[in-house]
Chains A and B, each alone.
Chain A
Amino acid sequence: MACKTKDLEKLLDVYALLTSTLDLKAVLTEVLNKAGAALKAEASNIMLLDAATGELVYEVALGEAGPRIMEQTRLKAGVGLSGWVAKNLRPLLVEDAYKDPRFFPGLDKKTGFHTKSVICVPLFAKEQLIGVAQVINKKDGAAFTPGDQVLFTRYCGVAAIAIDNSLLHGKALQQDRLQHDMRIAEEIQSASLPSDIPSIRNLRVECRSLACRYVAGDVVDITRLPDGRLAVLVADVSGKGVPAALFGAKFSADFEYLAQADPEGGALFNRLNAIVTKRSKRGIFITAVYAVIDPASGSVEFVNAGHLPPIIVGPAAGACRLAGASDNPPLGIMEDITYKSTRLTLATGERIVFMTDGVWDAKSPSGARLGPEKVNEILADCPELAVPRLMKAISRFTEGQALADDITVVGVGYGDYEERTFSSETKSLAQARKFVEKLALAHGFDDRNTGAILLALTEAVSNIIKHTYRMNPDEKIRIGVGRSPDQFSVHIRDWGDRQDPGRFVSRDLADIRPGGLGVRYIREVMDVVEFDDKLWDGNELHMLVRGKGNK
């Protein structure tokens, strides 16, 4: 009885090992040391199952021959006593190994050890075999007893938990590493998205992109051509996640290279299609739309390869037309297709919107799809703010749920539009006012109303300098001013940390104290104020004054 209590105490000590270290070898060595001492064994070892080959791999071997056993590394499936235990999932007590036909004497020959009595026990985790443990030869020369087997089985229970913990920990680490890699991939892909879109007079360009996983299969490219025209590519690689992103990254590089040589749509898509078709594996293909827009005339030459037709909204609220459906197949389906481009002309105040079908496929928590009708309605509701409002609507519709597909939206507004970029120094405030003042007066606002617009502008830019950039003077702020017969709009873009619009509250006017007035001024002066936090880098504030001057 006293002996049994002592054995149990030793076993409790072994359990304490489980929480002391994550080093599997250290735990298993300790378990075998303690089991060996309790059973007075000459040698012991633990082998782990290699599930792929069925072989048993030595993890720890103690005793005189331990180092030489470890050199053998692995045992073929079914070989020897341990192979039998792994196959039959039953423990084994052998009094004299050389009298047992299942015994494999090869190891003894190699190591010079002489095996006599053996206890060999299978190790399980979640009812699956994970390895085999054995103790060999009693030091006093006697054979192991059934009592020894019971005790050793208990020690082996601890070893199994340690192995299972270690495997789980390894899997968690692997998962962590994978997630870390995916985050880096996401950063790399974000960095390749057009952030500082080229400034072209008369064209207001907006671009938004959301990945349904870490990385997206959507491709977007916005370039100012040497002749001053704007080239826009929006493409969607079939499938999602890493394969689509990799295929898209290569496509993007091919596009950049080929577009430099000849940016004209039809010929460009013919060459891209030949490359994509050759490279396509597992039926992967790309839908794409590519447009070249002339800021002088509003003319748009575009080619559509099986992509959603661009939507044209404005100039009046509610006006919406489709640029014509594609009669070209996607890229990568078959070679020797001649892609043809189409022409259209944007009227002043119109905005052409390119998007991937992830927008239509955005889903609400109840499973409803956003769909084309709703998308067109949102875009047409306020053409000047079509893109940011669409992104906000998607966010509201999905209620933060994971996206069903990647989403990319590019809007190009044609009309009277100018933008300038300023440094984030406080002295830029006066320069920014000068830029906007000239345009506000030209729009027809009188001195007083122009002053009000400049107040809103100054407050907004001051907030960026102070709060977003925390007075760092080395950042940049871009101010765009759009003018249409019934509207004057100011768009202020920064590249700082994403700001929480909930933070922008104007203070109670009864509370007379310095500060907190900026937001109040902006809201009092402007007819529409919308904060846009759906960019992938930075923020944008949109401010609109309705009417042609003299508010």
Chain B
Amino acid sequence: MQIRTEIVEDGAPGRTVVITADGEVDMHESPRLRKALADSIGYRPAAVVVDLAGVTFIDSSGVATLVEAMKLAKAAGVALVLAGMIDKVKDVFALARLDKFFSLAATRQEALGV
């Protein structure tokens, strides 16, 4: 899994950290995503957008990582948006009825409001 982090200053929500993940997220990979999320939320931007368009597989450890980040973000007053999930990744959230719990955007652009 590849992870890139960038800061977008002119996003609609305000200063936004965009984390772009590509590849598969499983127990082997999720610790790195967890660290990227914790670092980004710790930076206290207005929002964190997790661009998952390049993620082809996610398991419960990946979902748990995002649930944990969502709680962390909420406590820190940071908006967390998951963007660009392909259908089979979205299915994993839907199976656990978590699709309603997260803020979802179809694309990274939609999440940034640009």
Contacts and interface: CB of A to CB of B under 8 A. Distances in A.
B39 interface: no
Given A448-B87, A521-B96, A455 B28 contact: no
Contacts of A454: 57
Nearest to B60: A517
A455 B92 contact: yes
A513 to B, nearest CB: 7
A512 B98 contact: yes
Interface string B56-68: 0101110111011
Contact of B59 (A425, A459, A465, A514): A459
Contacts of B87: 448
A509 B96 contact: yes
A451 B96 contact: no
B106 interface: no
Interface in B34-84: 57, 59-61, 63-65, 67-68, 71
Nearest to A525: B95
Contact of B27 (A448, A455, A465, A513): A465
A512 B66 CA distance: 11
B109 to A, nearest CB: 25
B contact patch SS:
helix
Interface residues on B, range: 20 to 34
Interface string B76-114: 000000000001110110011110010000000000000
B24 interface: yes
B68 to A, nearest CB: 4
27 contacts: A426-B28, A429-B26, A429-B27, A430-B28, A433-B57, A447-B88, A448-B88, A452-B91, A454-B57, A455-B57, A455-B95, A458-B26, A459-B59, A459-B60, A462-B27, A509-B96, A509-B97, A512-B101, A513-B67, A514-B64, A514-B65, A517-B60, A517-B64, A518-B59, A518-B60, A521-B59, A521-B92
B24 A426 contact: no
Contacts of A425: 28
Interface residues on A, range: 20 to 34
A524 B26 CA distance: 18
B97 to A, nearest CB: 5
A427 interface: yes
A367 interface: no
B27 A521 contact: no
The 5 A-B pairs with the shortest beta carbon distances in the complex, nearest first, are A451-B88, A514-B64, A426-B28, A517-B60, A514-B68
A466 B27 contact: yes
Given A448-B88, A459-B60, A520 B96 contact: yes
Given A451-B89, A462-B61, A521-B59, 20 more contacts: A426-B27, A426-B28, A429-B27, A430-B24, A430-B26, A448-B91, A452-B88, A458-B59, A462-B26, A462-B59, A466-B27, A512-B67, A514-B67, A514-B68, A515-B60, A518-B60, A520-B96, A521-B60, A521-B95, A521-B96
Contact of A433 (B24, B60, B67): B24
Interface of B: 24, 26-28, 57, 59-61, 63-65, 67-68, 71, 87-89, 91-92, 95-98, 101
A140 to B, nearest CB: 90
Contacts of A466: 27
Given A459-B60, A462-B59, A517 B26 contact: no
A477 to B, nearest CB: 13
Interface string A261-295: 00000000000000000000000000000000000
Contact of A515 (B64, B71, B101): B64
Contacts of A521: 59-60, 92, 95-96
A205 B30 CA distance: 35
Contacts of B91: 448, 451-452
A514 B96 CA distance: 11
A517 B63 contact: yes
Contact of A427 (B28, B57, B67, B97): B28
